[in-house]
Chains A and B, each alone.
Chain A
Amino acid sequence: MTLLKILINQLRMQNALLFHGGTLNEAQATSIALVKAGFIRIPRGYLNFLNLSDGLVWNGMELFSCTAHERAGTVFDHPTLVEYHVKYAKGLFFAKRLVLGRGTEFLICYDSASHCYELVARDSLKPMLKLPRFEDILFHIINV
């Protein structure tokens, strides 16, 4: 069992909200939409995650999805990658970064310049932590 599957099972046991895995077509369509909007493609590590669960919500952390997940009876819609970037990712900082999710005062990003996943402080937009794999970042958020 891969580390990513172990972490997802761990989150499932902690009542995380998980979704059905996205299809390759959905991921491709999202990547194309992101590139057309001037952002970068979805990195491979995050595609592996989307294949298992198209987004995630747990303890104030949200990982963005390919397709929108509307939640009846609430004002809350789970944001998609494209929706988030078009609305909020403005400026040079986001040109080479893809925001994959958000947590309590941090963003989870992929930096295409260094090919690393990173936690970025929200108030200063400075990288707090850089790790090579998406599952490493997820492990750090859950367990450290």
Chain B
Amino acid sequence: MTKDNKQDELNGADIFSDWENLIGSPTPSQKQEEEGLSLDNLMTDGGETYWLDELTKTNLSGMDLVALDLIPYYVHDFKAEYAQMKTQVHIFLLKLAYAYRNDLRVAGLSEDQIDELSKGLLPMNWTVHLKYPVAYGGTITAHNFVLMPHHPFHEELHHFINRQIVTDAGVMNPATLYVPTPKSAVYVPFASNEMPSKIIHFQTMGDAK
């Protein structure tokens, strides 16, 4: 055996022993499993189970958590979106007030509040929420709207979304957004189980589709 061959053999042995060490040493996930931590348990931020759990801690009862995928390269046209929102909200309120007056009464709105809706105006502490954000495939039309109280529900809903889009690096849209979604066109949390079927029909059929 020449000196060079001996050297190669030594190097090979070194490499082999390193490789053995490498295989023998536990991977980070194995270490976590040994310590009783699984990968699922570590996925606290961003996982569906995490946000489902977070939703139960809010006041947003009767809402489903929907996972929405970001539309790649979506570019907002804010001027057009703002104008469309203004027009469509007006139409949505008129429709609710004229066609679903009895249902609105059942949902807990007073006569004065329904009168305001019939003028195309929002009553005090009520707002129109866009169920699915535009960048995640939502459209600015009546079937994507829900009438809901500003305080605390609408604010709390957006706070839930903000927690996903406001990061330490700034504001960015995640690839998947978990959005609490009301089931009907009017969200009244404490009466959501007694919501009249017509309002749900209005939402699912979507006259403005």
| Given contacts A92-B170, A124-B173, A76 and B130 within 8 Å (CB-CB) | no
Within 8 A of B (CB), among A69-119: 74, 76-77, 79, 87-88, 90-93, 102-106, 119
Residues of the A chain whose Cβ atoms lie less than 8 Å from the Cβ of B89: 104
A121 interfacial by beta-carbon distance below 8 Å: yes
| Given contacts A79-B151, A92-B166, A122 and B76 within 8 Å (CB-CB) | no
In the docked arrangement, what's the CA distance between A79 and B126, Å? 14
Total contacting residues, chain A, CB less than 8 A: 30
B161 interfacial by beta-carbon distance below 8 Å: yes
User: A126 to B76, Cβ gap below 8 A?
Assistant: yes
Residues of the B chain whose Cβ atoms lie less than 8 Å from the Cβ of A128: 76, 78-79, 81-82
Total contacting residues, chain B, CB less than 8 A: 35
Chain B: minimal CB distance from A91 (Å): 3
In the docked arrangement, what's the CA distance between A90 and B161, Å? 12
User: A124 to B171, Cβ gap below 8 A?
Assistant: yes
In the docked arrangement, what's the CA distance between A119 and B129, Å? 16
Residues of the B chain whose Cβ atoms lie less than 8 Å from the Cβ of A60: 121-122, 126-128, 150
Closest 3 CB pairs of A and B: A60-B122, A91-B166, A123-B133
A18 interfacial by beta-carbon distance below 8 Å: no
Q: 23 A-B residue contacts at CB 8 Å? A: A59-B121, A59-B122, A60-B121, A60-B127, A62-B150, A76-B125, A76-B151, A87-B155, A90-B159, A90-B162, A93-B166, A93-B171, A103-B127, A104-B127, A105-B129, A121-B78, A123-B133, A123-B158, A123-B161, A124-B165, A124-B173, A125-B162, A128-B78
